[in-house]
Structure 1
């Protein structure tokens, strides 16, 4: 039973909280109601869980929230939405073939409201809508967990105090929220992409982000960054079939067999990338950071036709990207390209000023560069450091294999 509840919590928690928040206009109440429903599930499911666990959690949480709502002294001023017509809320909100229901999209835009501080918008969305833990969100933004927790509390308070409407704004108001919406989707997709085997707790985000970026591209076809993110997600998803070797170990992008990539998704990605570039030129603006990231993915995808990787071109794109968005993730990825162009020593030197000793991507990158330089003892130490940081099983197997292949 605990395994079923845990799976339902991961798969449907965001949907339930989103639907409750949309109905009651109160994020805290929505989260409390869902927690209460989970607690009751532990007590009542036993050996005979409900046929639709997600719908059960939604129904119990809604009843609890309604009861709590009615007890408030201000109930008359804050009446929840009327129950929707057929199909029932359970059928409509919990339909698993509907990856991101309207209620969830609505809450994404609510959490990204300009009233919320820029540094908290994506974090609040990831915590509330996507169901990431505070620790996971903090790790994604490379900030201490207590700092992130304080930001979340302030953000929810701001939404309540500002009376933010729980509705998707009209298209003319999208630009002020879209960057935060796209940042949320970037991090959510990174969580799905973290486990190359697709077995991580957030692996289902990949399909959801793929669908939502396509939806946003249809709703905002003239937004270059929207089209660029749609391209990036499709380029990355196209490589999914080539990410594991026969032993289940992760295969780095540069070692993947391009004949295993999904040509249909690559073609879709190229159309979005071309549209993004056309829009940037039409507006007379330089490519945005997401457009540059998409271009890097597109350059890697060209190996399927040319049989080679244009590392100097990719390095140039990373230099442009670093000027637009300087963060440790981009610096580590740029080091991979720099190693191919100028050698591992230059790449290792470029990572020297990143202060993140307990960050897995940095430890893994340093281990590879040190091994290529013949600094075996230091490389082994970095591989051990990387393995101590809880990598996903496929990545752990890859790192273990590389460490064990070092000369004695």
Structure 2
């Protein structure tokens, strides 16, 4: 089932031609209206007229999140504020928030791509979509909401929090599609079990999860505990919000990025060199239809690769492999590069532990230390000390075998690691404090 068959199944040659035309139009627009891009292009000794092919895109300089902060709040907007009908912003936990603006046409385009994404995930007009993404400055809630309305489905604007009520509403309102972060879906499953609610008795059949990295093992756990198909969605506020790419329910293998609106590249994060299709690196995205705040070669910091093989669903747009982490989430422990997802891949395959963990990084006598706090389930926690000691040693050994570094493992009681209604906080790095 397709939402927009004409564009979702365009031949590759037509996609490339459309991308080039829209790229050239976008470059002319930002060069004429955004001083930042004028200066950036001048330093690179290039003008929009020099971009004759998609291969020429590599000649343009990157745009960084810091550039957005340096131009806070409206310095990268390509239209007057009077033409902006919506403003969103990131949380700003690592500095000033990154601010994005949408024209009326941008909002319509966003709703179109979210409707397209919902259909790819298996949703349809008759669904009741339970939207537990946060509403407000965060793009997730309203992005999913407008897409659900565009689809013609019934949307429940739950937002995050009030978990017991979420479960009651899903029961009483007959929710069929759930949207939230993957970690919050597991929290919902945990809370439902405490209330004596079995997800098999609900009408839910699909979950659309994003906003944080998650693994195939977590997908299997979500699908088992919630009795649904778990679909990965990708987005970031700087580019659009949710709806940049999504898995199709037919394959659940790679996220179709809507190439009639975005041009993806994969680069070596250290050198900036473009990598061949299939090689893993940092995702760079150029928007080619946004009016409010176009982004030229934006470095997302997300680590993935491009999948070019045809998909069984019939969509022709290139796919992104599941995000394996972020360059700025990467920890360097005693010279070893570590992503939280690597730790998670070990933990989810060990019986007796829950998929709730935190990494505590510190420095003692100029030496980096890593402590992994991981919850055990009720049965394991009540076992004898020897069982817990053996479990601790197994985790330490498997981490050492995978990553080549030693770490401290601390097993904690069930439900003691803080739950989040939004993105789970996996890492606490105390080295800079």
Question: Which TM-score tier does this pair reach, normalised by the shorter chain?
Answer: under 0.3
- Which structure has greater strand proportion? 2
**TM-score if structure 2 supplies the norm length?**
0.25
**TM-score if structure 1 supplies the norm length?**
0.26
- Which structure has greater helix proportion? 1
